[in-house]
Amino acid sequence: MDGLSDCGRYGISIIAFIGSVFSPWYRWAGRRDPANHCCINVATYGAGGRWTMTERGRSALDLEEDSIAVGPSHLRWTGDHLEISVDERATPYGTRMRGTIRLHPTALTDAEVVLTPEGTHVWRPFAPTARIEVDWRSGGVNWSGHGYFDANFGTRALEDDFSYWTWGRFPHGDGSVAFYDADRRDGTSLETALAFGPDGNVARTEAPPKTRLRRSLWTVRRETRCDPGATPRQVQAMLDAPFYTRSAVETVVDGETVTGVHEALDLRRFASPLLKPMLAVRVPRRTKWR
């Protein structure tokens, strides 16, 4: 899930992993035991922004029909909103991250997009249009804004099926739009554009042309969808890694100027064994939990 504040100064991203796809530990273990490589990654942006991605073993995982807990943090569906409780140590300095995030969907969707011909990867945008409330108890800034919640499922490593992808979700009208473009390893491509109504209605829509964004600090190639004659731009840097970038981007869709969360992922870079020791510094592993 992710969110941007109404004032435009703050952002958040939270990813719960069972089988931590970006973990060097999971890769080194042969990706044979997903439950033994789980984590809740939290990143906050703006004043006081922090990052945590502590990988834990199977003893830390508690999975129920309406909740997932990994060690001291959990996500729970309450019936009308998603509640996330965070109690972690920031990497690499160990400062405390404690707070509660509540995501209130305007509606839930049953949309499912199969990303590869073999069905090895599936995207489920559960709540593409939502309101978010962020309440930090550890010196953070409390705020509210627009949010988003989805899930990805896979049976093969991302770098085995994709070489590059770019994704973005943007509030649009009284709903939202999402664009998912990918280059597959077999030489084919994915181009998906979905429009979401406030009632949860989902429809495929015609996407504006792909338009280049300036490369990230690690020179990751970036592009998004934008009306002809307009120029997209980054309005907030969120995460820069050698193979991945996340940012708040302003673009124009069907004549409307919108700002949402955008990501680009270079999986050829991620596949390099040289990156794994670098990632291990940012992703500590804790195997035991009581």
The residues pairing with 124 across neighbouring beta strands, listed in sequence order, are: 151
In angstroms, the CA 107 to CA 129 distance is: 7
pLDDT (tens place) for every residue of the chain, 290 residues total = 999 999 999 999 999 999 999 999 999 999 999 999 999 999 999 988 899 999 999 999 999 999 999 999 999 999 999 999 999 999 877 889 999 999 999 999 999 999 999 999 999 999 999 999 999 987 778 999 999 999 999 999 999 999 999 999 999 999 999 999 999 999 999 999 999 999 999 999 999 999 999 999 999 999 999 999 999 999 999 999 999 999 999 999 999 999 999 999 999 999 999 999 999 988 999 998 88
| Mode of pairing for the β-strands spanning 55-56 and 285-286 | parallel
In angstroms, the CA 39 to CA 17 distance is: 5
Question: Which structure tokens are listed for 55?
Answer: 């990988």
Task: Indicate the SS3 state at residue 47.
Answer: coil
Tokens 């559960």 correspond to what residue? 126
Task: Indicate the SS3 state at residue 186.
Answer: coil
Contact 236, 11 (CB under 8 A): yes
Task: Say how far residue 45 (Cα) sits from the centre of its chain.
Answer: 14
